[in-house]
Chain A
Amino acid sequence: NAGVTQTPKFQVLKTGQSMTLQCAQDMNHEYMSWYRQDPGMGLRLIHYSVGAGITDQGEVPNGYNVSRSTTEDFPLRLLSAAPSQTSVYFCASSYSPVNTEAFFGQGTRLTVV
């Protein structure tokens, strides 16, 4: 029962470096999303996808890119990391955006120095 798998769990980047946070789910969910969690801010939606080939921006999309080439995978790319992107990132998936709870990954703790 893998559910939603995020890699890596921890990452330290230097300002300006790029990296991809991986997210994979094995539940055949159409809807996937990325959130970031900052102290005292709760979780905020970065990007989401309602199915393969379809993505859209959430509340805080700047500095991040996503793609959805398969139902299973939804990677989040940081093209040029900034200290403001230091956060914990969660990937989530669900059967549809409507009427279902989201299954969350374990989170990726990213530090940009």
Chain B
Amino acid sequence: AQKVTQAQTEISVVEKEDVTLDCVYETRDTTYYLFWYKQPPSGELVFLIRRNSFDEQNEISGRYSWNFQKSTSSFNFTITASQVVDSAVYFCALYRGGADGLTFGKGTHLIIQP
């Protein structure tokens, strides 16, 4: 069975600080996909990124960057120069293929203080 662990339940930083959200996953599959979603206070789920298991290149999108390391089964998410609008719950998820849906971590509540 697959599992996603987000050990940080809540993180609080001051605006403009950099912050990294950790995600560790477990799966026996060789082909899988990793996701990050943002859930702002309004409650909707916003897709941020998808990465497949064969692509270990790090990705940067503006202030967001993702570090995928198969050796440590981690897919960490870094926000550079955080802003108050980044305050949200962030979920890491794993999809192993087939029709089983996404396996989500429990989420990390990120609080950016002005």
A33 interfacial by beta-carbon distance below 8 Å: yes
Interface size on B, residues (CB 8 A): 24
B101 near A33 with CB under 8 A, answer: yes
B99 near A104 with CB under 8 A, answer: no
Main secondary structure of the interface of A (DSSP, over half): strand
A110 interfacial by beta-carbon distance below 8 Å: no
B105 near A104 with CB under 8 A, answer: no
A99 near B91 with CB under 8 A, answer: no
Main secondary structure of the interface of B (DSSP, over half): loop
Residue of A nearest to B52 (CB): A99
A41 interfacial by beta-carbon distance below 8 Å: yes
Candidates A42, A50, A101; contact of B107 at CB < 8 Å: A42
Residue of A nearest to B49 (CB): A101
A90 interfacial by beta-carbon distance below 8 Å: yes
A-B residue pairs in contact (CB < 8 Å), sample of 18: A35-B101, A40-B106, A42-B4, A42-B105, A43-B91, A43-B93, A45-B100, A48-B99, A50-B99, A56-B99, A58-B100, A58-B101, A97-B95, A98-B98, A99-B52, A100-B50, A104-B45, A106-B44
